Amino acid sequence: MAATADFTGGGITGLPAKPRSFGNVEIDEMIRNLVKASGCNASCDLIQELMVTALKIGQDRLSTADLKLFNRSLKEMHTAAKVFSHYIDRPKVAVFGSARTAMDNPDYRTAQAFASRMREKGYMTITGGGDGIMGAAQEGAGRADSFGLNIVLPFEQQANETILGDEKLITFNYFFTRKLSFVKETQAVALLPGGFGTMDEGFEVITLLQTGKARLIPIVLLDQPGGSYWNTLILFLREQLLARGLISPGDFRLFYNAVDVDDAVRHIVRFYRNFVSYRWVRKRLSIRLRHALDPQAIRELNHDFADLLAEGQIIARKPLAEEANEPELAHLPRLVLSPRRSNFGRLRALIDAINDAPLSRNC
C-alpha cells in the first residue's frame, strides 16, 4: 500500500498551482530567477509562492514573536516532511497513549504486542517518542521501523531508549506542527489509555474525519485484556453527547473499540483489503481500488447506499481528468460517486462494504 501525500483526500492536491504575485513585476522576475538558480526541480511555482508570502509578511510590520512563530513552524514542518519522505512507500500506524505507563502495566505489554504485530504486517510505527505507551510501542516495532515525534516540554517528555539518537527522531517545539505530522503521515491510528494528551490527539483525529478535513483512516481503541478504559468513554459519548444530539449515530463508525490486539490488527488490515485511497474532485469522489468489483456488487452498493448519494449513482470508471497529476495511481480501477458530505461515518461504512464486496471475474 503506497502512502498518499495528500492527507486531505484531494483538498491540497486540487489547489490551483498559479503562483501568487508580489505585485511588482521586477520583484516577481527576481524571485523566479532566484528559485531557478537555487536548483529547484519540482513544484517551483509553489516555492515561488512561499517566497512571495515571506516577503509580504516582511511588509506587514508583524511582531517579532509572530515572525519567530511562522519561521520555526515552517522549519519544523520541513524537517519532519524531509524525514518521512524517505519512507513514503511504507504504511504507518500512529500509536497514542500515556507517557506515565509503567513497564509492568498490562497496557504497556498491549502496546508492545500491537506494534510488533503491525510490523509483521509491514507497518512502521509513529509515536510521540517518549516513554510509557510510546516506548512500549517502539520496543515492539523496533528501532528500524519506528518514528519518534518528540515535543519539548519542561517535564515528563524525553526520548525513549529505542528511538534515542535515531535519524527518525524528530523534535518539535509546537504541538500543532507535531499533530499535523502525525495525521499527515499515518495510515491508521491506535489509541491506548492515556491522559489529556491522548484524549486531545484522539479527539482531534476523530474531528478531522468527522468534518471531512482529513481522509478516512482506521482508528482503533485498544485496552488491556478485560480493561474498561474505552468502554467507559464510549458510554459517556452515548449517554451524553449522542443523547443530547451533539454527535450523530454514524460518528461511531469513525472509530473501532477493539476486543484485543489481534482484533485491532485485523480491523486496520481489513480497511486496506481492496480500498487504496480516495480523492475529492469538486462534488465527485473518486475511490481508488486494488481490484475492480463485480458489476452485481456495484448494483448492490447503489441500493444499500442510496441515502449517501447526493445525485447520480456509484459507477466504475477510469481516473477522472483531474487525477492526471497523480500518475502513480493511474492504473488503479475506480468507483466514482457524488456523495453527501454530511455523514462521513456513512462513507466509512461504504468503504467497509467495498472491501467485503466480490471482485470482478476479470481480476
pLDDT of residue 2: 47
If you average pLDDT over residues 202-218, what whole number do you get? 96
For the chain, what percent of residues have pLDDT higher than 90? 87
Q: In 3D, which of 324, 253, 331 has the Cα closest to residue 288?
A: 331
103-129 residue pLDDT tens: 999 999 999 999 999 999 999 999 999
pLDDT digits (tens, 9 = 90+) for 239-288: 999 999 999 999 999 999 999 999 999 999 999 999 999 999 999 999 99
| Residue ranges in 10-146 assigned as alpha helix (H) | 25-37, 44-59, 64-85, 106-120, 133-141
Q: What is the per-residue pLDDT for 362? A: 77
44-54 mean pLDDT: 91
Share of the chain above pLDDT 70, in %: 96
Rounded alpha-carbon distances, angstroms, from residue 97 to 129, 137, 205, 342: 11, 10, 14, 30
β-pairing, 284-289 with 275-281?
antiparallel
Is the pLDDT at 171 greater than 70? The verdict is: yes
**CB neighbours (10 Å) of residue 93?**
27
Strand partners, 146: 125
Contact by Cβ (8 Å): 96, 194:
yes
What is the distance between the alpha carbons of residues 117 and 30, in angstroms, rounded to a whole number? 53
Widest Cα–Cα separation across the chain: 69
* Type of residue at 270: R
Between the alpha carbon of residue 354 and those of residues 194, 270, 287, the distances in Å are 33, 11, 10
Residue-level pLDDT at 157: 62
Per-residue pLDDT tens for 140-162? 999 999 999 999 887 656 789 99
Predicted local confidence at residue 169, as pLDDT? 97
Least-confidence region, from 130-139, 145-154, 297-306: 145-154
- The residue type found at 237 is L
Grid coordinates representing 59 are: 511588509
What is the average pLDDT value for the chain, to the nearest integer?
A: 94
Q: Provide the whole-model pTM.
A: 0.93
Amino acid at 13: T
Q: What is the pLDDT of residue 53?
A: 92
Q: What is the DSSP string of 221-289?
A: E---TT--HHHHHHHHIIIIIITTTSS-GGGGGGSEE-SSHHHHHHHHHHHTSSEEEEEEETTEEEEEE
| Amino acid at residue number 66 | D
Collapsed DSSP state (helix, strand, coil) of residue 335: strand
Residue-wise pLDDT tens digits, 59-101? 998 999 999 999 999 999 999 999 999 999 999 999 999 999 9
At 318-363, the pLDDT tens digits run 999 999 989 999 999 999 999 999 899 999 999 999 999 999 987 6
- The three cell numbers of residue 174 are 509546537
Percentages helix, strand, coil for the chain (3-state, rounded to 5) are 45, 15, 35
